[in-house]
A and B are shown apart, each in its own frame.
Chain A
Amino acid sequence: MTKGAPDAFAPGKTPTFEETARAFLNDAQLRHNMGQATRAIREKRAAAVAELPDWQELREAGRALKERTLRHLDEYLLQLEESVQKAGGHVHWARDGEEANRIIAGIARDHGAKEVAKVKSIATDEIKLNEFLEGEGIKAVETDLAEFIIQLADETSSHILVPAIHKNRAEIREIFLRELDVDALSDQPEDLTNAARLYLRERFLKAKVGISGANFAVAETGTVCVVESEGNGRMCVSLPPVLVTLMGIEKVIPAWQDFEVFMQLLPRSSTAERMNPYTSFWTGISEDDGPQEFHLVLLDNGRTQVLADETGRQALNCIRCSACLNSCPVYERTGGHAYNSVYPGPIGAILTPQLVGIGEPGPDSLPYASSLCGACYEVCPVKINIPEVLVHLRGRVVRHKQDEGGIKGRLDPENVAMRAMAKTFSDRRLYEGAQKAARVGQWPLARGGTIHRLPGRLAGWTQVRDLEPIPEQTFREWWKSRNGS
């Protein structure tokens, strides 16, 4: 999907999940790439997690820590601000993406930067920072290998951890040959990585401003942490003289010791590693070492609105490991672009509509992009009960339609049918009558003991599946014939 494609966080309406999904489902290359990649990482994650006998206790600890932090978020954020300032850093508060973009662009401009080096950060994707900087005449260079690939291809991420999961090596080789100044290139991982390294090394050395996201920030000490695999993050946060970090307000953790829990949960859940290769910590600025100017931008952009929903707020526990994406049967088939959001997959389906607000067909369709199989909840390292939140949000979507949608909302065929069925189910006589009526009514549809075609929206079922008709005698009728009514 190219840049400028529909995105719930960009201006304009987005199509619904079901409208977008069909095209992706028919992309054989995508289905193959996604099937292989998610299967492989699922198996590796399961093995990495199985090594820890106290995994369930760790999950519970992670959940409890996040929940406690969110309960006192205001206090922890003020403490974080104070700690960062004490360590020589600057703290900025951004109500929304627009504000954050202006703050960051302002800092880059002040230092005369025409190019900034970026560590992979979904928060910056959420606020469309790269596009904003481009408008200001500043080029943002993505330095994470996968982000770099999709930036070259002029596409958007389809996975929160592995943005180019939808691409295979052959496709990446073609992009590099087209976009980088290289003559010959094989599709071997070493060669591809080396081509990217040669190009990016130069960018790191030139950049006056580095931009990062944050996995965690410690309120007690003001320490910011970035967890990564390639070392590009380490270079971004240490080489340029000025560093700007954009962080969603939910990323704060109270104390250093909390890393004990999160640094066990995160690498095993995300890349199936016991420990990730590079974890960078920095506390404000250090004299003659690393950046001499540090800015922390704290982003709300709908997060306090999520916090107000008692059931939905657990979505803010997320540590962006992406285990839920890799385990989701829906995500595996459609890929990330079908969600029309920088946050795809199960976590995206509960985060996106909450962040942007209920009431738009696109984001409202996301909680329905799930069979509620529960695989996401099972693997979530901080025990976000994703199916529960999905169901809760479906309730909010329907209630919004019924209460705010006027006559159109009430006359919606699904609403009418559901209410009629609820009435039928609430009375035994009506229920039994409906069974009998269905048996009579189905005769034009049922041929040779099978229903091949249903009318209206129900046709979605019979386009590809048959249906058993109501039997000659239902269980209820059989029971009555034996026991009397």
Chain B
Amino acid sequence: MDFPLEQTCCGQMHFNTGYQREAVPLVRRFVRVFKDYETVVSPSGSCVGMVRELYPMAAELIGDKRLLYEVEELAPKVFEFSEFLVEKLGVTDVGAYYPHRVTYHPTCHSLRLLQVGDAPVRLLEHVRGIDLAELPEAYQCCGFGGTFAIKNADTSVAILSDKLRHVLDTEAEVCTAGDNSCLMHIGGGLKRLRAGVKTVHLAEILASTEEEMNR
């Protein structure tokens, strides 16, 4: 297991905002840093989506055949965190303990781009002590969308307000997801409302143990 310190950003924000020529060096960097690893795991569905779906578009934009070949070689080795555990390793019980009422928001890119399906829910179901509450209209976007949240702040928040209502309806203490950016958005809204519900990444819940809690 390694965390190569040379890594920075996958370039999604630049690419999706239209600064695509500016994103190309970041694509090259990602390929250079990660190409020799057997498997790459990321705790962010949208970053994995960027690598799988848009890296080829970046390579084609500048007409670099070699880069296109490299990103196509690398893409199948890059996994979203829950997908890696459930699909690749076949693990659904990681021995976690998390005695809280939790609701899960399936982020758009995990759901539609990566099609991770119910992998995150299967992992959560095996967490001891957890009280899992189903989120109404879970498949609806939270309204984040990267720079959309700033460029179209009003619309973004109009979408968020419905997501927050659904989260609050579950009476959960914790809202979890597989993408920190969506959690930053939902969490930012909940905190501003002083809703008393926190956002926690799926990986943090799965890493919680009884020993740690009692310490």
Contacts and interface: CB of A to CB of B under 8 A. Distances in A.
Interface stretch (A202-210, A277-285, A327-335): A327-335
Contacts of A483: 3
Contacts of A452: 192
B189 interface: yes
A457 interface: yes
Interface string B186-210: 0111011000000000000000000
Given A373-B112, A426-B26, A428-B5, A398 B17 contact: yes
A463 to B, nearest CB: 6
A333 B158 contact: yes
A398 B191 contact: no
Interface residues of A, number: 60
A415 B149 CA distance: 17
A193 interface: no
A468 B183 CA distance: 11
B91 interface: no
B150 A371 contact: no
B159 A418 contact: no
A311 B57 CA distance: 10
A25 B25 contact: no
Contacts of B188: 461, 465-468
B146 A418 contact: no
A370 B145 contact: yes
A388 B19 contact: no
Interface stretch (B8-16, B72-80, B124-132): B8-16
A268 to B, nearest CB: 19
Interface string A464-476: 1111100000011
Given A369-B155, A374-B112, A428-B8, A458 B150 contact: yes
Given A329-B140, A371-B159, A395-B61, A418 B17 contact: yes
Highest count of chain A CB atoms <10 Å: which of B61, B157, B185: B157
B173 interface: no
A460 B145 CA distance: 14
A179 interface: no
A465 B153 CA distance: 10
B148 A372 contact: yes
B54 A21 contact: no
Interface in B163-199: 184-185, 187-189, 191-192
A21 B152 contact: yes
23 contacts: A25-B154, A330-B155, A333-B159, A334-B155, A367-B18, A370-B148, A371-B144, A371-B159, A373-B108, A374-B112, A392-B57, A394-B17, A395-B18, A396-B18, A414-B17, A418-B19, A422-B14, A422-B19, A422-B23, A428-B8, A460-B151, A464-B189, A466-B192
Interface of B: 3, 5-6, 8-9, 11, 13-23, 25-26, 29, 53-54, 57, 61, 108-109, 111-113, 139-141, 143-146, 148-160, 184-185, 187-189, 191-192
